[in-house]
Structure 1
Amino acid sequence: MRRARGQTAAMIELRVLAPDDWPIWRELRLAALAEAPYAFGSRLADWQGDGDRPERWRGRLEIPGSYNLVALLDGRPAGMASGVPTEDRVVELISMWVRPDARGRGVGDRLLAAVEQWARQERAQVLKLAVVEGNDAATGLYRRNGFQLTEEVGDLMPDGVRREQIMAKELAAG
């Protein structure tokens, strides 16, 4: 990672979450939905009020076979991502988000690399993700990490107008 003169290197630590780690997941997910509502298929309101229950947050981290990570930047929660097995030999990257003040510091790249490494260990052949058209920063991050747009049609966004774009990366066998 290149640094500007006088800038110190950031310490990025990745932590795999267990269901009991739901409070840190909750903190980041609510921040993500508040900061970038245009980028997610869920809405902040869906996770507040009656939706804001410990068992629901714990359940999110108990998706069968999932791999849930948070990134700590200089000891502070800075981003999150999950890998979820889907169909045969395909893993989907979901819930990817990096705090605005941590962007451009390698956090997203580290999260993506960790999910990819895990997907390879799970013998996945493809790592897929959904990104909203116009989310150029995220699309750039994914392209830089080897993802390509597919012809697959993504889900309809909560606004009822836009659809997600599906990107995928082929993973070497073995």
Structure 2
Amino acid sequence: MAIRPTTEEDWEVLREIRLASLADAPRAFGVTYATAAANSEAQWRDRAAGRGPGRFVLAFVDGIAVGMAGAVVSSAAEFNLIAMWVRPEYRGAGVACALVEAVTASAITRGYSRVVLDVSPANERAAAFYRKLGFVFLPEWEALESHPEVTVQKMEWVRQTQDG
């Protein structure tokens, strides 16, 4: 498995895997499939190149993209893990863990000690996965922008040190 940041040349791969994620779990993300599918090639190129607020990493197995994760710094200067998704047939194989590790390492490299994400507590598998990696729920809730009937809760990564 290889994890690497996207480049502009990855725009088609990023588009394909992002649309696959939105088709697979439409109520888990802050954007809808229709909205993402309507983005132009130039928008996808900019996104893949990191010419915008988000930065993305892809996971590859045998040259095939099997997962993605993104990061964006919010207006409150919080480093947010976003767009996390792994193809169903690769779940439980370490891909998701490697993607989250890449994003948290990027946060540290960029000088952020705090990484947050939003997840619906009803998405029990995702919530358990994030807890296993050291994220804890915060008492902060909001409606999911793409599906206002879905409430998400903020989680914060608690960095594990060598001593504990």
Select the residue among 53, 60, 75 that pairs with 2:40.
53
Is 38-47 or 22-31 further displaced after alignment? 38-47
Select the residue among 93, 106, 125 that pairs with 1:118.
106
2:141 counterpart residue number: 153
Contact (CA 8 Å) 1:132, 1:163: kept in 2 or not? yes
Percent of residue pairs identical:
33
Contact (CA 8 Å) 1:90, 1:125: kept in 2 or not? no
Q: Give 1:31-50 correspondences, 5 Å limit.
A: 31-48=20-37
Q: When the two structures are aligned, how many residues end up with a matched partner?
A: 160
Contact (CA 8 Å) 1:124, 1:171: kept in 2 or not? no
Contact (CA 8 Å) 2:136, 2:158: kept in 1 or not? no
User: Displacement of 1:79 after TM fit?
Assistant: 0.2
Which consecutive residues of structure 1, in runs of 5 or more, have no partner in the other structure?
A: 1-11
Is 98-107 or 75-84 further displaced after alignment? 75-84
Tell me how far apart the structure 2 counterparts of residues 124 and 52 of structure 1 sit (CA, whole Å).
30
User: Displacement of 1:45 after TM fit?
Assistant: 1.1
Tell me how far apart the structure 2 counterparts of residues 141 and 33 of structure 1 sit (CA, whole Å).
19
Contact (CA 8 Å) 2:137, 2:156: kept in 1 or not? yes
User: Displacement of 1:160 after TM fit?
Assistant: 2.6
Residue deviations 1:83-118 (CA, integer Å, cap 9, x gap): 222356631011110000000000000000111111
Q: Which amino acid aligns with 1:122?
A: R
Give the SS at the match of 1:23: helix
Q: TM-score, normalised by structure 2?
A: 0.87
Q: TM-score, normalised by structure 1?
A: 0.83
Contact (CA 8 Å) 1:149, 1:165: kept in 2 or not? yes
Tell me how far apart the structure 2 counterparts of residues 52 and 64 of structure 1 sit (CA, whole Å).
14
Select the residue among 121, 124, 128 that pairs with 1:140.
128
Distance 1:151 1:132, change over 3 A: same
Which consecutive residues of structure 2, in runs of 5 or more, have no partner in the other structure?
A: none
Contact (CA 8 Å) 1:66, 1:84: kept in 2 or not? yes
Tell me how far apart the structure 2 counterparts of residues 155 and 60 of structure 1 sit (CA, whole Å).
25
**RMSD after superposition:** 2.1
2:15 counterpart residue number: 26
Contact (CA 8 Å) 1:91, 1:124: kept in 2 or not? yes
Mark the structure with the bigger radius of gyration.
Answer: 1
Instruction: Please state if 1:13 is matched with 2:2.
Output: yes
User: Displacement of 1:154 after TM fit?
Assistant: 2.6
Distance 1:65 1:164, change over 3 A: same
Tell me how far apart the structure 2 counterparts of residues 65 and 133 of structure 1 sit (CA, whole Å).
26
User: Displacement of 1:66 after TM fit?
Assistant: 4.1
Q: Which amino acid aligns with 1:60?
A: R
1:78 counterpart residue number: 66
Give the SS at the match of 2:27: helix
Contact (CA 8 Å) 1:131, 1:167: kept in 2 or not? yes
Tell me how far apart the structure 1 counterparts of residues 93 and 43 of structure 2 sit (CA, whole Å).
31
